């Protein structure tokens, strides 16, 4: 397996470059080409000597991950299926900003997810492994090759607080002026609700935003939708309150609206009652249906009725009208399609990134969920 440049610490990269016949300053230059300009081909790094390019190609890769498939929606949303060095796949979505504003990238943090929300394609196949920091950063590099990026939402495949060291290390690179240079205020970390993770995020000085997924106004329904959820809504609300008191940053509560399941006005009123006295608004997400799911998306009128019931009860409520329905933008959908042997076709060369589009590898095992009881399967605790 060829190591990627971003998998190496700067000092290790400098050593590798010197071993390949280059000078230490070439190492910094290579990182800049990748992080600032999304150039993922040594030959296109015009300040590198040719002999060094040839030597580097034998030992290192600009990026370890490659675009395995891509879908584009008419609204400008692009979803990438990325194949990692070990053959596993993850998804990254780039969504255009409203009215020409900066684009948002949704990144994955794990291969698969142990939380197993019943409405989510990513939860269907279980957890395989955590992503390393550079595998998270590489998603941003691929996304930025499609066009400028201003926001990051850590809401893709996986539960970020169950891989928090790697997530924070990746966000350090993302927000470092010598890295991708994005604003920490434009980063949102979403959790299904792991109080220890929320408490740790409250201690972080960088002003990241926090989103806590509730999805139900009562514990019985929440456990039905998120079978692994062990923490009750009252405890989550308490964790959110403590988060605000410590960080002075208001969290957002995420709520996926499922038709006939959690979208009734009386459920909105119950949700408002549970959130009374907590700083932070509710972000409503009309469900993005996935094939085979028993859940459906409520019509827009019902979504507005739920939002208005929350507002009448004094809750700041907004609707995130889904982008990219045509791009299979529901979390994990493209990965599931690829695993079932029906990946959407990639379009090499259309987005500017130099990394080649590669055909799926033998899916015999790399993309398969680990056997029950394996180390990977048992790594992630219940939220």
Q: Which residues bind ligand SF4 (CB under 6 A)?
A: 113, 115-117, 120, 122-123, 157-159, 192, 331
Q: Provide the minimum distance between the beta carbon of 233 and ligand SF4 in the complex, in angstroms, as a whole number.
A: 16
**Closer Cβ to ligand SF4, 126 or 217, answer by number:** 126
Q: Are the C-beta atoms of residues 147 and 161 closer than 8 Å to each other?
A: no
Backbone angles phi, psi at 318, to 5 degrees: -130, 160
Q: Provide the minimum distance between the beta carbon of 325 and ligand SF4 in the complex, in angstroms, as a whole number.
A: 17
Q: Are the C-beta atoms of residues 235 and 220 closer than 8 Å to each other?
A: no
**Closer Cβ to ligand SF4, 113 or 233, answer by number:** 113
Q: Provide the minimum distance between the beta carbon of 78 and ligand SF4 in the complex, in angstroms, as a whole number.
A: 19
Q: Say which of 64, 91, 135, 254 is annotated catalytic.
A: 91
Q: Provide the minimum distance between the beta carbon of 328 and ligand SF4 in the complex, in angstroms, as a whole number.
A: 14
Which of 324, 348, 325 is CA-nearest to residue 145?
348
Q: Are the C-beta atoms of residues 112 and 127 closer than 8 Å to each other?
A: yes
Active site residue 159: no
Q: Provide the minimum distance between the beta carbon of 241 and ligand SF4 in the complex, in angstroms, as a whole number.
A: 22
Task: Using CA atoms of 32, 37, 38, 41 in order, give the dihedral in degrees to the nearest 10.
Answer: -70
Active site residue 331: yes
Catalytic residues: 91, 331
């Amino acid at each position: 397996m060829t190591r990627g440049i971003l998998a190496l610490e700067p000092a290790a990269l400098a050593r590798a470059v010197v071993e390949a016949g280059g000078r230490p300053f070439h190492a910094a230059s290579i990182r800049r080409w990748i992080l600032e300009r999304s150039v993922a081909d040594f030959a296109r790094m015009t300040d590198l000597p040719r002999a060094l390019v040839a030597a580097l190609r034998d030992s290192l890769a600009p990026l370890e991950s490659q675009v395995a498939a891509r879908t584009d929606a008419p609204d400008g949303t692009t979803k990438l299926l990325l194949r990692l060095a070990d053959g596993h796949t993850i998804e990254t979505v780039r969504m255009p900003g409203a009215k020409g504003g900066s684009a948002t990238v949704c990144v994955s943090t794990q291969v698969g997810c142990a939380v197993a929300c019943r409405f989510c394609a990513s939860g269907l196949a279980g957890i395989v492994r955590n992503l390393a920091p550079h595998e998270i950063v590489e998603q941003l590099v691929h996304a930025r090759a499609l066009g400028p990026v201003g926001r990051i939402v850590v809401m893709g495949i996986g539960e970020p607080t169950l891989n928090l060291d790697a997530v924070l290390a990746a966000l350090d690179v993302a927000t470092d002026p010598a890295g991708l240079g994005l604003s920490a205020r434009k980063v949102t970390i979403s959790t299904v609700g792991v109080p220890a993770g929320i408490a740790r995020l409250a201690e972080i000085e960088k002003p990241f935003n926090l989103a806590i997924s509730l999805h139900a106004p009562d514990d019985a329904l929440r456990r039905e939708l998120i079978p692994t959820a062990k923490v009750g809504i009252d405890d989550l609300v308490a964790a959110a309150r403590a988060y605000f008191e410590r960080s002075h940053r208001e969290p957002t509560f995420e709520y996926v609206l499922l038709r006939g399941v959690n979208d009734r006005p009386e459920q909105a009123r119950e949700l408002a009652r549970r959130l009374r006295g907590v700083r932070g608004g509710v972000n409503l997400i009309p469900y993005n249906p996935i094939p085979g799911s028993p859940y459906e998306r409520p019509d827009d009128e019902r979504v507005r009725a739920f939002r208005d019931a929350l507002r009448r009860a004094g809750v700041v409520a907004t609707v995130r009208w889904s982008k990219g329905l045509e791009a299979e933008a529901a979390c994990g959908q493209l990965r599931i399609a690829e695993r079932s042997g029906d990946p959407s076709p990639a379009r090499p060369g259309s987005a500017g990134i130099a990394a080649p589009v590669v055909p799926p590898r033998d899916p015999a095992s790399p993309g398969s969920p680990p056997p029950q009881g394996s180390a990977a399967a048992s790594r992630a605790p219940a939220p």
